[in-house]
Structure 1
C-alpha cells in the first residue's frame, strides 16, 4: 500500500479498503461526495465528513439520522466533531430491523515508529522530514459473515509485526483538592436573603434555587415566589447535595458555621414534607373565596333554570359545561390577617447602616441592633421604622413590606412602583388586559371609549380616584370617611385590584350613548351580572348579554 495515504477506511459490508489522501473526505448520497451511496434511503445527501488534522482523525456528522460510533456513541449534526482512533467502527446506518441497509466502516490510522538502534541519518533514505509509516493488518472475514454477526473482537486484532510502544509522558504530581475560605465555594453556599452561610438549605421547585429554611419560611409567609428569580414556587424540598457540600465546607472551616437555630431537625423535617401548592400568576397563594364547593352544584342548577327563560335559552349547555372551567377566573388572593413580622436572629446590612468607622450617612442612620425588614419586591433590607409617623414601608391592605416610598425608588430592575398611593400608580399595559371583570367584551367597550375621547388608562385611573374621593365609587379596603381615600398606600398588586374594581364601576355607570359599537348599547342584562362565570369562556355569551350589572337571580 502507498505510505502517502493519510488513513484507510475498510468497508465491513464488502470488505473493500479505501485509502484516503485528502484532509476532508465526504460520504453521502449526493454525487458531489467523495463516496456516493445512492441506493440507500437511510443515507443523507451529505451524511458525514472525515477530517484529518495534524495526525488526528475526526468525524463530523451532517446527516438527519445521525452516526453511530462503536455502537455506543451516537452523534448528530448539532454535535461537535468526534476524534476517531484505529479500529473504531463507524455505522453510518445502523438498522436492527433492516440489517441489509447497514453501512459500516472501520478506521485504520498509520502508526509512526522509529527503531531505537538507528540514528537519524541511517533512516533517512527519503526526505529528512519523512517518517516511516506502517499499517496494522486487518483480518478478513468469510463471505457468509455480515456486520451484525461478525465477531468485532477479531476485527480489533492487529498483527504482531508492528511494535507499539507507549509514549512516556512526564508525570505531574497530583494536586489535592483545596477549599479556601472566601473563594467561590463560599459564594455558592451563601444565602441571598441573609448573606450568611446557609443553614438547613432547601431548594425550591421548579427553579432549584437554595435558601436557608428559616429565611424562606419568613418569605413564604408573604408570597409563593422565589426570592431570587421570582418564578412561581410549586414545592420545596431539602437539598441533600448542598447539605453534603455545606457539611464538608464547615468541617474544614468550623468558624464559618452559623449559630444554631431554634428549630431542630425533626421540626425542619416536618416543615419540609412534600407539598404542592396552587399558585396564582403573581406567585401568591390561590384562595377561592367567592364560591363554595358545597354550593357549587346548587349554583349551577340555578343557572340552568335561568337558561330556560327568554334570552338565555341558547346558553343552557354553556353554563352546565363550564362549571369547572370558570372557577379559576374569580379566584383572588387573601392577604395575611396580620402584619408580616420582622425577621429575627438575622443580621441585615442596608444602605443606611454604618459602612465603617467614621462614616457619615446623610439622613437616618441605623443604630446598633437595628431591626430590619425585607422589601418583598427587591428582597433588600431596610430599617424597621413602621412606628414612626409619615414613614411608609408596608401596604395598608395586605401589610407586606416594600421600599419604593421609603428609599424613593425600589432597587429591582423594572419595578413600576411596588408601593405607592393609589392615584399615583402607573400600571403596566400587560396587567390591564381584560380590565373590566376579566370580560373581554366589556373591557373593549371601555377601551373604545378612551380611544374616542383621546384618553389613556392613566386618565381613567385619575377619574376613578376622583369619583372615589367624591364618594361616587366605593372600593374594598378603602375607608369612605377618610380625608382623601385615593391617597391610600397600597402595593402594586393591591392597587391593581382596586383599579379593576373602580374601572368596573366606571363601565357600569357609562351612558348608553357612550357605548360603541351601537349593537352593544341595548343588550339585556345577564341574570347573574358580573358574577356570571360563563362570560369568561364563552365569547358569544359575553357579547349577547350585558354583564356590567348586578346579579338579579340567586
Structure 2
C-alpha cells in the first residue's frame, strides 16, 4: 500500500505564499453585504474521467462530504453508475482554514488513489492531479495495486473514476495565522476593516482608536492618507473559521469588549475624505509634484506609488533609501536632494525613481512600483510578492480566477478538458508561453505601457491576468471533436467575451459560447 495513506503534518515551510489582503477589496465586500453568497469559494473539484458521472464540487465550507449511492446522500454527491459502490462509499473532508482536502474510505470494495487502495478509515490528503477510483481499477490485483495510466485508459463499463483538481492553493495554519494578524494589536482580526487606497487591514477597534488619538492621520502600516474605511466580510469569515479550529488564538472576552467599545466603524463603512488624482494636483510636469505637497517643509521627498493609482505626496524627513546616503554599488548613482522616490508595493520601503536607468521599477501591466529588479540585493519580500519577467514566473497549479473574465461555466469546460486529456495547468502555461514567445498569441489586454513581451517585468497578480488572457486563445484553438457535443453545439453569444449577461444569468452562460469575440455592430 502507498505510504500516502496517512496525512502528513502541516509544515510551515511548505506553504504556498499568497496575500489574503488581495481579496479584501471594498467593492466585493459591499456586494457580499448586499447579497451574501450562498456558498464559500470553490476550493477543488473531482472531475469525472468517464462520461455520465457528476462533477463533485468542494467548497471552503463543505466540511465533511459523503459520496456514495445511498438515498440519503446529497444529490450532488450521489452516484448511481455502479453497483460496486457502497451506500456511503467515502468521505471528502475540507479544512476551511488551510483548504486541505482529505479522503477517507468507508466502503466495502475499496477506494483507490493513483491505483493504490486506501486503507479503510485512514485519511489521505489529495494532491492536484490525483486519480481517484471508487471502483476497482481494471488491472488491480488482490493487493489493490494498478498502474496510474490504467486507471484512466480503461473503458468505463460501470467504473467510477475521477481526477482531483485543486482550484485554490493549500496553505498552512502558521501562514494563515500570519495573514489574519492585525498590524496594531498583533492578534487575530476582530471585525477586520480595510483602508483605502492602500488596502491594509486592521481590527475595527484598533483603527478607531488610532484615529481617536488625533495626531495620526495616515495608515498605521504605511502612513498613506486614509480616504475610506470598509469592513471586509471575507476576512471576517476566514478569521472566524480560524478561531474555531484554533481556540487558543481567541482573545479574552474583556479584550474583545474593549475593542467593541472603541469601534466607531459602521457596518457600511465610512468615508474620511475625497481622493485626489495625481494629475489634478500637478500641471502635467512630474517635477512640480513636490510643490503641491501638504507638507510645509521644502525638503520633503515625493513618494509616488503608481501612475494609475490615487496617491498623495508624503513628507519624509532625512534619507529614505540606501542611495540617499551612499552611492549605488551598481552604477554609482546617489539620490539628489528632494529627488523623487517610489515605495515598493512588496516591502513598502522607498527607492529612487529612475525610469531611464535600465532596471525595471514598475510592473508593465499595472504600473505598481517594485524594487526587486532595481536593488542590488533584490527585495526582501520577493518570495511573497514576486516581480520578474513574465516567462520567469512560476507556472500556476490551477486556472487563474480571471480566466474568461470569471465565467465559471467556461472555466469548468476548460477544466474538464484538461482533466480528461490529463493536461496539467502547468503544461497549458508552457504551451501558451511558447505561442506568446513567437507572437502567435497576444494577451487581449489594455496595456498603456506598450506592447508586452515574455520578458516584460510583471508582478504576480498581473502574471496571472496575462496567463488568463492567453488561455482565451488556448481555448479557442481547441478542435471541436475534442470537446463534448453539449459544448460545441452552443451558438456564439452576439456580444462574445464582452457580454455582461453571462455573469448575471446562469442559463445564458450555459446556453451560449462566450469564448469568442463580439460580432460587428449591425449597420
Q: Where on the TM-score scale, by shorter chain, does this alignment land: which range?
A: 0.3 to 0.5
* Higher RCO structure (Cα 8 Å, ≥6 apart): 2
**TM-score when scaled to structure 2?**
0.39
When the two structures are superposed, what TM-score results if normalisation uses the length of structure 1?
0.37
User: Larger radius of gyration, structure 1 or 2?
Assistant: 1
